[in-house]
Structure 1
């Protein structure tokens, strides 16, 4: 009787996750934020399957179309570069980018003059190319445009190196999320460790750690990040470390306070 009553009560009790989810669904802004986070994570993981320029770091540079506005559209001569190639598997390329064996030459106008191509770019500069320069057999201009010319659209334009801004923007989501995740991980590890040690042992150790917390708290976060980067050098890994080393203070203060509170509870003293 008592067992069945207990089981029925346990079945009727809602779990903490279900309560959180119900409260989350009632807030439109919270659901919008959750949706943005999910979409950002999806784009970060599968970026190279989505972006128009899926070479590593979307770093195909075409100076002939530098600083073009959004919705810029151009035709490009596409030919194979025998010097490039990669042995990466398809799965590895999904996460690191697909090596391209093709080279692109964007143009505004293209003419065939005495078996040579006269290519005029979007800045009015003229370039003379032979079919041999492109590794192609001689052909008519119509055949060339049919088989070796592609059309590319840059939805957000190009940067000063002629790279696709949209592709690099989506890849930037991956960097931003990685920096946030690793920085928070570093700060949580340091903060929990120092806060727990400070609150549990107390004494001179607590004073030293509290002094470090107060000193770090008094220094502007951005200034401290700059100082760490200047001291340790540049690099993505250094940014992870620098941001993580400036965020541990809040975690340490909260953990220290909780440890002090629990340490003085009766059940701890009784044990």
Structure 2
């Protein structure tokens, strides 16, 4: 049954509400003025040119990309065995482990950031690469486990059982049969973990230092002292990065397949 006009109108209003701020930011990013004003007094690409010429922001962008890539790899390496155990195995405490892994998502990021600072400062890991990687991995891991649990759960158990009957050990069957079938889910989980780390701001504010900062933190510091449209150009660049990652996953594997829905 095709949706009626009322449902279509409601969907259109919902999309318009979600996209309106992005459209406003996009227009401001091409402003020819010196301040954040809407509508813009004119249109120019001067703020994109200023963005790419800003060495501090570009260095922060590079650090954030490296950090997010490392976090995505670590979250996948740690999340794959946990997700397989939760999805495929039956053992005492399985639900408790799943809830423990998801616990960072239940805490406010402000509380989590302060707790990480208090825990990492005595170990001299604050304002260091290992400290940032550990903190971001803690936040990204629940997303990797959740997506991979769904992907592993969508693989028919009979496929593994057939491999067992042909002489494969449970470990070999999991590595050679189940994991390749669930690989699209791993791609989606890695992409999401990358975006979670790349966009993390609150926790990073507690753990960065003067010589080690991420792009969202530099963006936050920038708007504290300036009100020019460069921040709008930077926001559109971040939206472009997120959109590129999502489109890449959709192009390579498709989100329905990645989540085990087809």
Determine which structure has more spread, i.e. the larger CA radius of gyration.
Answer: 1
The structure in which a higher percent of residues are strand is: 1
Q: TM-score, normalised by structure 2?
A: 0.36
Q: TM-score, normalised by structure 1?
A: 0.35
